[in-house]
Structure 1
């Protein structure tokens, strides 16, 4: 359930499901997903859903994979509610030159409390174990660690990359400087560039949102595991006064 409404899904589970499908579409052991773009075409309802995927651009070293999520409406018709694309690259051993451009996230310590109220204690947010290093809304880049616990696909335990995508869509919330009692700030997309596959159960977020003068904002951040940065995330955000 979304933090904004009890009749729509939070963006994280649909995004993570599309990424799950993109990773497994005609999967090859010598490739991995490197950049994933999730487009939220509208509110994802709490109803029956289905996903289809295909290789849009096949190749030996570079492939483009597409997935589409559809939801069943009250009248029984299906409509597309989210779409994902992923570049999948052939891998090679470059461990000798491995380097992370972003600084590591501070380790998990005593957690800052989440604000009172239903917005920060509802739906998907409550399925994640949180360790907040920065008070929400504090100036500058905000930092938090999250360990998602929900089952994404029945019969398949979630792995570290699944956890990465379950956390990625929360960057907008981690980095926000706005009070949700006064403003709405919904993202229309999530873009994740993964330069190293994560490991472990916890995913860290360093994020901040930049606000334009015309109701549009951009959330940008870095995603981490316990060994350091693994990816960058950006989101386009529509901002409105309540």
Structure 2
């Protein structure tokens, strides 16, 4: 079990103790979730966002243990198979497609022997392409130019309460916003900027909602991010559009940013369910 930890979240706030992180390591593959991961649809279950970051951390640690060259993540594709309580989870990592310059790696996060999230990550050899770098994605107003918004005014749960949000809501289902966490991902361990950033990705589905979550449930069953550069630490920017169809399906589409500009794209498939209470059964 990890000992006491004193560190900083993304905004530099000092935190101390294992309970000041989203997860505490219990063993080589097991981790205890803290109250900071409490969900938005159901506060007794985990908001999956920090768990996704933890899985990326596990993939990167496995890569370092196997090889000394530096493959980088080009795609993260998560399938969310169900909900899980705020409890101990386990992560296993395996190489699906080994290669000298390209690998496909799978991580499986489970609770009491049941898979809850599966990740497939493409790892690619980096190269020097600075003379070709560029993107036509529009820049976002900086965090300092974006109004503060209290996400707990719409959503309950420890995870939403652990982050700072600055948001421009253009219309229901369309907006730009910045998010950073006040809580480290894992007590007592350094994690990469990518893992910390990935631990915020899943917040996208709840920041510019098309419908009141008191009356319509719209949980996502997956999340896929494609990256064309590694994100810098700190604020994570989102340029998000939420679309609902007439047959119970939806998509949340996002361009991802850091303070230096766009870093990639992300999409989430939604199941849209009118409800009489703020719950999202699977």
TM-score, length of structure 1 as denominator length: 0.90
1:236: Cα distance to partner? 0.4
Which runs of 5 or more structure 1 residues have no equivalent in the other structure? 73-77
Q: What number of residue pairs does the alignment pair up?
A: 234
SS in 2 for 1:22: helix
Between the aligned partners of 2:50 and 2:69, the Cα distance in structure 1 is 25
Between the aligned partners of 1:114 and 1:150, the Cα distance in structure 2 is 17
Residue 132, structure 1, aligned to residue 167, structure 2? yes
1:104-183 to 2 correspondences below 5 Å: 104-108=139-143, 109-114=145-150, 117=153, 119-134=154-169, 138-139=171-172, 141-183=174-216
Between the aligned partners of 1:149 and 1:115, the Cα distance in structure 2 is 14
Residue 224, structure 1, aligned to residue 257, structure 2? yes
1:130: Cα distance to partner? 1.2
1:48-127 to 2 correspondences below 5 Å: 48-72=88-112, 78-108=113-143, 109-114=145-150, 117=153, 119-127=154-162
2:13 corresponds to: none
Alignment deviations for residues 85-116 of structure 1 (CA, whole Å, 9 cap, x no partner): 10000011001110123111111225253477
Of 147-156 and 33-42, the range deviating more from structure 2: 147-156
Determine if contact 2:242/2:252 at 8 Å carries over to the other structure: yes
1:213: Cα distance to partner? 0.9
1:37 corresponds to: 77
Structure 1 residues 22 and 115: alpha-carbon distance in aligned structure 2, compared to 1, 3 A threshold:
closer
Between the aligned partners of 2:169 and 2:190, the Cα distance in structure 1 is 30
Structure 1 residues 46 and 140: alpha-carbon distance in aligned structure 2, compared to 1, 3 A threshold:
closer
Between the aligned partners of 1:116 and 1:5, the Cα distance in structure 2 is 14
Structure 1 residues 43 and 139: alpha-carbon distance in aligned structure 2, compared to 1, 3 A threshold:
closer
SS in 2 for 1:34: strand
SS in 2 for 1:23: helix
Which runs of 5 or more structure 2 residues have no equivalent in the other structure? 1-37, 276-282
Between the aligned partners of 1:112 and 1:130, the Cα distance in structure 2 is 6
Calculate the aligned-residue CA RMSD, in Å: 1.7
Residue 205, structure 1, aligned to residue 238, structure 2? yes
2:5 corresponds to: none
TM-score, length of structure 2 as denominator length: 0.78
1:120: Cα distance to partner? 2.4
